[in-house]
């Protein structure tokens, strides 16, 4: 258990610039309580609010949340509809607080593959928050790490064919400009809740040197002290990026 003053132990000069979170465990949280999966997702929205507030107050630059993967379309129509409604409700209910806290909202994924009503709500919220200069909240929705790389290649191919870009000039840095996360720093810290030891097709390119932190805490129970514990653990690690200590 983390002490209440865990946040005071964090070195603000060594914060991860970018934290990415795989928000897992909503279904198990609901099952343990005899509730529907939808109730678990609804409870998880409270954890989103807590994580966003904490990252903003600590001074983290970017927070990426894995909200809905391209594989999640395999779930039941009932659950998908509920998730989309919940996402729209979150945007409506939180946009004012996000604005007060100077949060800018962006999204990563195949956004044009979302229901039109979701696209409209998302674009409206992003427009309201686009001039904010604090925490960047990046929602990964209809997202997949492999599809992101494929989509990046699809953007590059016509440029090469037309002569606007030479294949031999493409390197890791320039290729990053064709990904959904162009302009963002790579994640320094990847957090996965619920104890599962999987990446789940999340930010496959970007997390090449991210520190990975897994907690058994289910996402609906994840609160600020859990985030602070992950950051404290991150600050203990030696990041060598392939070199020696």
In a domain, 156, yes or no: no
Give the per-residue pLDDT at 14: 96
pLDDT beneath 50: ranges in the chain = 1-3
In a domain, 194, yes or no: yes
Out of 11, 26, 50, 72, pick the active-site residue. Answer: 72
In a domain, 136, yes or no: yes
Give the per-residue pLDDT at 1: 42
Nearest Cα to 87, choosing from 64, 120, 110, 113?
120
Number of domain units in the chain: 1
Is 24 part of the annotated catalytic residue set? yes
Two structure tokens written together for 202: 């999340």
In a domain, 7, yes or no: no
In a domain, 33, yes or no: yes
In a domain, 5, yes or no: no
Does the pTM surpass 0.85? The reply is yes
**Owning domain of residue 55:** 14-144+185-236
Give the per-residue pLDDT at 55: 98
Q: Could you give the CA distance from residue 60 to residue 103 in angstroms, rounded to a whole number?
A: 11
In a domain, 207, yes or no: yes
- CATH number for the domain spanning 77: value is 3.40.1180.10
Give the per-residue pLDDT at 6: 65
In a domain, 67, yes or no: yes
Give the per-residue pLDDT at 83: 96
Q: Could you give the CA distance from residue 227 to residue 18 in angstroms, rounded to a whole number?
A: 13
Give the per-residue pLDDT at 239: 82
């Amino acid at each position: 258990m983390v002490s209440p003053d865990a946040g005071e132990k964090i070195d603000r000069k060594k914060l991860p610039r970018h934290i990415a979170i795989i928000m897992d465990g909503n279904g198990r949280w609901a099952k343990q309580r005899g509730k529907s999966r939808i109730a678990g997702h609804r409870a998880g929205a409270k954890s989103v609010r807590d994580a966003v507030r904490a990252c903003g107050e600590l001074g983290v630059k970017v927070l990426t949340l894995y909200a809905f993967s391209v594989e999640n379309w395999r779930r039941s129509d009932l659950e998908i509809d509920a998730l989309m409604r919940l996402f729209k409700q979150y945007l409506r209910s939180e946009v004012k607080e996000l604005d007060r806290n100077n949060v800018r909202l962006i999204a990563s994924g195949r956004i044009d593959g979302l229901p039109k009503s979701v696209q409209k709500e998302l674009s409206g919220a992003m427009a309201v928050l686009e001039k904010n200069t604090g925490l960047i909240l990046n929602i990964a929705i209809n997202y997949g790490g492999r599809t992101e790389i494929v989509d990046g290649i699809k953007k590059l191919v016509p440029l090469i064919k037309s002569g606007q870009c030479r294949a031999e000039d493409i390197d890791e840095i320039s290729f990053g400009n064709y990904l959904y996360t162009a302009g963002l720093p790579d994640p320094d810290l990847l957090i996965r809740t619920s104890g599962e030891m999987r990446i789940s097709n999340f930010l496959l390119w970007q997390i090449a040197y991210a520190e990975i932190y897994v907690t058994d805490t289910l996402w609906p129970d994840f609160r600020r002290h859990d985030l602070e514990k992950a950051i404290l653990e991150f600050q203990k690690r030696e990041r060598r990026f392939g070199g020696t200590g």
